[in-house]
Structure 1
Amino acid sequence: PKPHAPQTCVSTNSTTSAWSTSPLGKASFLSPNMKDSQFLETRQFQVVDLARIWGVPPHLIFDLGKATFSNIEQQSLEFVIYHMGPHYERVGQALTKLFGRENHYFEHLTDALVKGDLKSRMEAYWLQRQMGMANANELRAKENQPNVAGDAGTEYWRPSNMAPAGRPAPSEGEAE
């Protein structure tokens, strides 16, 4: 026998191996009967059906049977846009009607809910910066970071091959 393998134990009642959990005999695997299987299937359908009735993605009520990381992110975004968006709009309009003053209105800001992953946000910020849509301080504020000191944080960039409409770009001789 192997030096560390358990030895067979012999008693007056039964012969058992030290590996077995009980002296009851051979292990058998249990499988659910058809009735139990049908019940489980019905319960799983009920969860999805409730999500459908309330307009909530299944992963928000913890049904992760068909979920992957990428589709959960997309479903969360769609939930905010298509399900909650109309509610936010109606509530904002009602509050503006009740409490709004001239040039003031109520609005739900969903930016924090639809931020997405870090890589996607940084790529979007880079595009905004390159196109001159935002300066460094505006982008840093979206990520709760302090402003850049001096004028560097307030400068807007513009691609060198672009100019305002109606005004030609300076030629190389004019730039000097």
Structure 2
Amino acid sequence: MPPALDIPKLLSLDDAARQREDARQAGEKVVLTNGCFDLLHTGHLFFLKKAAEQGDRLYVALNGDKSVQALKGPTRPVQSEQERAYLMGNLPFIDALVIFHTPRLTHEIQVLQPDVYVKAGDYDIGSLNPEERAALEACGTDIRFLPFLEGYSTTSLIAKIRAAADTF
């Protein structure tokens, strides 16, 4: 069994909500984004750095393993939620991580009430889940879509790795 990973930025939703309230009291703007972040790549880093620039603190809601499998298929995630959280938690521009296990982020949005919610430019207001969008609007959250760095995706990275493996 691998050693337990130390992930100080990984919080329970209750702890994240307490920190979020502290940020509110300090007049800080909290940005929320979410995703699988299965194999951290250039496109992810580009997006996350841009997301962090949208406010004072960046919170990332990370899809749990079962959620990733439901979204991406039976061979995913490649890395466990703990491994993904460890990687994300070591990025200096991420302030807090929360793992969610449900298909939708609605409850986390309602609890955290972010000032800003960001998604990459491969999304638009029409492609947001209606339930999540309603929760964001009810909180008065500013919804933003950031530039999408073309040519970088976990799916294409997996394809490159498979192609490289086929040459051996």
Q: With structure 2 as the length reference, what TM-score do the two structures score?
A: 0.21
Higher strand share: 2
Structure ranking higher on relative contact order (CA contacts 8 Å, 6+ apart): 2
Q: Larger Rg: 1 or 2?
A: 1
Q: TM-score, normalised by structure 1?
A: 0.20
Greater percentage in helix: 1
